């Protein structure tokens, strides 16, 4: 996904507007819940200007559009589902699922044209599925002013989940609109106003004791119902390798149509997450709100959660795919206004950072209908030496940046929105409590840099008042980048600083067996090192941290073929998967 946008900075973080507007799957229960989306109210030129009026809300069965166009698009979706022509199937009174242009074919039309075609066929609402994960606001040009039905623009994976249920013969019922006042007893929470862990992946070496890790929890709870409530409770739970942690607050009172904040350290407080130890592994944070003995009449938004990791080798703000141990791409962005040379960055600061060495970065880029082959991506590690307490500090700025490490990646092929890795020219031992900017950059106006999936830090930035994903347009830095809900995919690859002398790739020897291999590849390593398995198209298919000695790597899920084993971006060995 590409998006031109003028960067804006806003130090004072305002209120969430229209928090009750939602896109929610009601049935089947296996996929029920609220989904990330954009809609009529997020851009101009729509006949239905926004979804604030509950009278405009729709709830009905979801069907897939058919317009008879032959062929299959680049994402494997029939062109007939893209709704660029008048629909041929009966969608009267239904919510119709249509698909965004695939980026390469000739079956191209505006989103507003798809929605108008659905409306003309009798649809009461539309779900538009993106060709990648992630969502953004769509203008109604040129047909939007002729439409009067609500739509929800959702990500590729969410669309695939809904489609799978329809194709399996299950009835999918969805809701689009403002549910304020539709029910008597109805509360809810949403990700935009819920605290999450400060990183999706935190280095295990920096979390060795109880006081070295933890985070605040909390959420804004909304009363969408017509009844005042006095028995509202919220529970936060973290489940991980160290067991289960849970805390609750309540009962609380919320007037009809109002909301209440429950955050660590607030007027209505809930204790911060803290345990005695934090072993490496996968964790989950979940929230649940309830009305005590009263039944919530629309409970699908009463719970939500976040996955996070204590990692041997990664630091990230983006969702980490547990099957590959890699960050997942949501979308690709770049500044508007003719900017050429620019940077996307993440911030890093930790009281125990000196335990870590920074070796390289994972990232992605996109060129759409252009070709990434030969494109240069620069890597820069800056010491951010401006002294400030938070975003509201008068001394906040980017006037004292000291670059201390560099790296350069050159695309070997058109790896559009594929996660790749590049090491810095020289690994760097980090410094305790030093603030860093970790950046990638590009100088081509036709290249977009990757941003992470499930990387909305709006509530965290509002709570902690610390920058997460600054962006430079080549003339200045913007603390909030493209917005608090968009964070660069940049993921730091780190190692034990005590192993600075053995982390260099030329000092590591690998022995692979059997070769060819079928389900398990054994790798004998002379040092602790992270390896990446790469197919011949350059796609990283797996990463794994090897210890010194014998290691087993599960390759059962890989396709048959030749794979490269790389250390720090350089090929060390190859093997064949049978």
- Answer whether 26's CB lies under 8 Å from 59's CB: yes
- Answer whether 420's CB lies under 8 Å from 409's CB: yes
Domain boundary at 310, 325, 359, which? 310
Domain boundary at 465, 481, 497, which? 497
Its domain, for residue 405, covers: 314-497
14 found inside a domain: no
Six token digits for residue 35? 């989904």
Res 528 pLDDT > 50: yes
Q: Is 481 helix (H, G, I), strand (E, B) or coil?
A: coil
Quickly list DSSP for 364-377. Answer: -EE-TTS--TT-EE
Residue ranges of alpha helices (H) inside 296-446 are: none
Domain boundary at 132, 157, 178, which? 178
Q: Is 331 helix (H, G, I), strand (E, B) or coil?
A: strand
Q: 10 Å Cβ neighbour count for 90?
A: 11
pLDDT digits (tens, 9 = 90+) for 208-228: 999 999 999 999 999 999 999
CATH of the domain at 532: 2.60.40.3080
Question: Distance between terminal CA atoms of the chain?
Answer: 35
Residues 442 and 525 in one domain: no
* Phi and psi angles of residue 471, each rounded to the nearest 5 degrees, phi first: -135, 140
Residues 329 and 290 in one domain: no
Distance CA 297, CA 181 (A): 11
167 found inside a domain: yes
Six token digits for residue 45? 């030129």
User: Element (H or E) spanning 105, and its range?
Assistant: none
User: pLDDT grade, residue 548 (50/70/90)?
Assistant: confident
Distance CA 88, CA 228 (A): 47
Residues 160 and 48 in one domain: yes
pLDDT at 275 (0 to 100): 96
148 found inside a domain: yes
Res 506 pLDDT > 70: no
Total of domains in the chain: 4
Quickly list DSSP for 374-401. Answer: T-EEEEEEEEE----SSTT-TT-SSS-E
Residues 162 and 216 in one domain: no
Cα-based torsion angle of the residue sequence 383, 384, 389, 390 in order, rounded to the nearest 10 degrees? -130
Res 252 pLDDT > 50: yes
Residues 135 and 271 in one domain: no
517 found inside a domain: yes
12 found inside a domain: no
pLDDT at 439 (0 to 100): 98
Mean pLDDT of 73-96: 96
Q: 10 Å Cβ neighbour count for 49?
A: 15
Beta bridge partners of 562: 576
Res 129 pLDDT > 50: yes
Residues 488 and 516 in one domain: no
User: pLDDT grade, residue 274 (50/70/90)?
Assistant: very high
Beta bridge partners of 344: 440, 471
Residues in the chain: 578
Burial class (CB in 10 A: 0-12, 13-18, 19+), 109: middle
Choose among 149, 167, 173, 1: nearest CA to 77.
167
Query: Is 0.85 topped by the overall pTM?
Result: no
Per-residue 3-state assignment (H helix, E strand, C coil) for 31-62: HCEEECCEEHHHCCCCCCCCCCCHHHCEEEEE
369 found inside a domain: yes
Beta bridge partners of 33: 25
- Answer whether 320's CB lies under 8 Å from 173's CB: no
Distance CA 349, CA 351 (A): 7
Q: Is 138 helix (H, G, I), strand (E, B) or coil?
A: coil
Distance CA 511, CA 522 (A): 8
pLDDT digits (tens, 9 = 90+) for 13-67: 222 333 478 898 989 988 887 788 999 988 899 999 999 898 899 999 999 999 9
User: Element (H or E) spanning 494, and its range?
Assistant: strand 491-496
Please report, rounded to a whole number, the percentage of residues in the chain having pLDDT higher than 70. Answer: 94
CATH of the domain at 382: 2.60.120
CATH of the domain at 205: 2.60.40.10
Q: Which residue has the higher pLDDT, 403 or 181?
A: 403
Give the best-scoring range by mean pLDDT among 294-303, 367-376, 393-402, 543-552: 393-402
* Phi and psi angles of residue 177, each rounded to the nearest 5 degrees, phi first: 140, -165
pLDDT at 2 (0 to 100): 25
31 found inside a domain: yes
pLDDT digits (tens, 9 = 90+) for 445-485: 889 999 998 788 999 999 999 999 999 999 999 999 998 88
Q: Is 205 helix (H, G, I), strand (E, B) or coil?
A: helix
CATH of the domain at 125: 3.50.30.30
Residues 386 and 424 in one domain: yes
Residue ranges of alpha helices (H) inside 402-538 are: 458-464
Six token digits for residue 106? 């000739």
Residues 54 and 144 in one domain: yes
Residues 384 and 472 in one domain: yes
116 found inside a domain: yes
334-357 core/surface letters (b: 16 or more CB in 10 A; e: else) = bbeeebeebbbbbbbebebbbbbb
Residues 302 and 211 in one domain: yes
pLDDT at 570 (0 to 100): 65
Residues 484 and 525 in one domain: no
Residues 191 and 172 in one domain: no
- DSSP percent split of the chain into helix, strand, coil, nearest 5: 10, 40, 50
């Amino acid at each position: 996904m590409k998006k031109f946008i003028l960067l804006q900075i806003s130090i004072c973080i305002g209120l969430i507007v229209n928090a009750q507007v939602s896109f929610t799957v009601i049935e089947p229960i296996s996929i029920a819940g609220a989904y990330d989306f954009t809609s009529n109210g997020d851009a101009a030129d729509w006949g239905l200007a926004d979804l604030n009026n509950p009278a405009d809300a729709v709830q009905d069965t979801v069907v897939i559009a058919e317009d008879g166009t032959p062929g299959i698009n680049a994402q494997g979706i029939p062109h007939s589902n893209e709704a660029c022509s008048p629909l041929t199937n009966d969608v009267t009174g239904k919510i119709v699922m249509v698909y965004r242009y695939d980026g390469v074919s000739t079956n191209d039309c505006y989103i507003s044209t798809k929605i108008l075609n659905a409306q003309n066929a009798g649809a009461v609402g539309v779900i538009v599925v993106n060709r990648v994960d992630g969502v953004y606001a769509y203008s109604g040009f040129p047909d939007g002013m002729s439409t009067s039905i609500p739509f929800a623009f959702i990500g590729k994976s969410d669309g695939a989940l809904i489609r799978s249920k329809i194709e399996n013969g299950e009835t999918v019922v969805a809701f689009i609109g403002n549910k304020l006042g539709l029910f008597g007893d109805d509360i809810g929470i949403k990700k935009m106003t819920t605290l999450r862990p400060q990183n999706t992946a935190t280095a295990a070496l920096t979390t060795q004791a109880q006081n070295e890790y933890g985070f605040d929890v909390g959420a804004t709870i909304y009363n969408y119902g017509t009844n005042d409530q006095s028995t509202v409770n919220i529970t936060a739970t973290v489940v991980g390798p160290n067991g289960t942690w849970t805390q609750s607050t309540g009962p609380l009172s919320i007037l009809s149509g109002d909301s209440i904040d429950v955050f660590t350290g607030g007027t209505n407080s809930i204790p911060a997450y803290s345990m005695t130890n934090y072993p490496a592994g996968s964790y989950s944070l979940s929230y649940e709100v309830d009305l005590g003995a009263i039944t919530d009449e629309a409970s699908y938004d009463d719970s939500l959660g976040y996955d996070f990791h204590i990692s041997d080798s990664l630091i990230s703000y983006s969702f980490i795919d547990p099957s590959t141990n890699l960050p997942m791409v949501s979308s690709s962005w770049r500044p508007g206004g003719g900017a050429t040379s620019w940077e996307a960055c993440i911030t890093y600061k930790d009281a125990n950072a000196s335990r870590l060495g920074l070796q390289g970065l994972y990232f992605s880029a996109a060129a759409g209908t252009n070709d990434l082959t030969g494109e240069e991506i620069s890597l820069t590690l800056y010491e951010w030496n401006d002294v400030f307490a938070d975003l509201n500090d008068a001394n906040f700025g980017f006037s004292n940046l000291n670059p201390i490490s560099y790296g350069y990646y050159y695309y070997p092929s058109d790896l559009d929105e594929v996660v790749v890795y590049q090491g810095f020219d020289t690994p760097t031992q980090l410094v305790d409590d030093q603030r860093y900017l970790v950046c990638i950059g590009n100088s081509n106006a036709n290249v977009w840099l990757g941003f992470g999936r499930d990387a909305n830090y709006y509530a965290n930035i509002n709570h902690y008042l610390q920058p997460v994903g600054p962006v430079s347009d080549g003339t200045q830095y913007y603390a909030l980048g493209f917005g608090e809900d968009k964070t660069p995919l940049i993921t730091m690859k780190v190692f034990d600083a005590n192993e600075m002398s053995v982390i260099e790739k030329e000092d590591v020897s690998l022995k692979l067996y059997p070769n060819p291999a079928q389900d398990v590849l054994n790798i004998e390593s002379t040092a602790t090192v992270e390896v990446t398995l790469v197919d011949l198209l350059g796609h990283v298919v797996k990463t794994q941290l090897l210890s010194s000695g014998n290691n087993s790597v599960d390759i059962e899920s890989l396709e048959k073929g030749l794979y490269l084993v790389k250390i720090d971006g350089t090929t060390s060995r190859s093997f064949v998967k049978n």
